[in-house]
Amino acid sequence: MVWVLRFINFFLLVVNFAMIFINPSNLKYTFAILGAFSFISGIRKALIIGLDNLRGKFWVLLSLNAITIPISELLNSEVLHIISRFYLTLSIFFMLQGLLRQGFSLNRTKSVIWLLIIAISILLSFIFLPFIPQKLTSYLFLIALNINFALLVAVILIYLGSDLGLRWIIGTIGFLFFFVGDPLYLLNNPIYPFFWCLPYFFITIVAHMEE
């Protein structure tokens, strides 16, 4: 059963990649299908783990991300996109909070690296700013992008060198593709949905790993 799910996940990614060359305007539909599959896979994982613990609740929260962004894209709503990004903020914060509760933290060296990376991210945002539409939703999008990036980098730095396992490192690094897709979205590049597919692809890989 699980091998069938893994094949479907890979097949949907291939379809989305092919759509870049066939008809990029239809990417949002194939992206939505992959998102729906990722949602189902994540809920399945949550039910296997159990909803009475932190991991199970996290998988429910993470799974809902897989449908909020596709719905925003299908409805072509900038406002819903902003809401979905701040919902993503909540999910990543929940992930970070779980790590902190387990006693993990950033040491001094990792804290310096984290601050340096965040400073570079903010600087790049100001450089990027003149090339995007000058409106409130664009600014909010950039703010959410930087907050999410800061939280995700903190999570990745905690994972690196820990004994938390390869599966979570793979899944977390997969989230980095949002920070390729979102700038392309602001630039109205037609292939941006493909880079939103990649985080869900990697998260779904983790969802299909045996406990």
Q: What is the pLDDT of residues 108-130, one digit of tens each?
A: 898 999 999 999 999 999 999 89
User: Do residues 72 and 80 make contact, with C-beta atoms less than 8 angstroms apart?
Assistant: yes
User: How far apart (Å, rounded) are the C-alpha atoms in residues 142 and 128?
Assistant: 10
Q: Structure pTM? A: 0.86
pLDDT band at 158 (very low <50, low <70, confident <90, very high): confident
Residue with tokens 């979570």: 168
Terminal-to-terminal C-alpha distance of the chain: 15
| Cα distances (angstroms) measured from residue 208 to each of 13, 46, 56, 200 | 15, 11, 14, 12
Domain that holds residue 63: 2-207
| Cα distances (angstroms) measured from residue 55 to each of 5, 42, 61, 127 | 21, 11, 10, 38
Task: Tell me how many domains the chain contains.
Answer: 1
Residue with tokens 């902003």: 82
For the stretch 50-70, pLDDT in tens is 888 777 888 888 888 889 999
Element (DSSP H or E) covering residue 158: helix 136-159
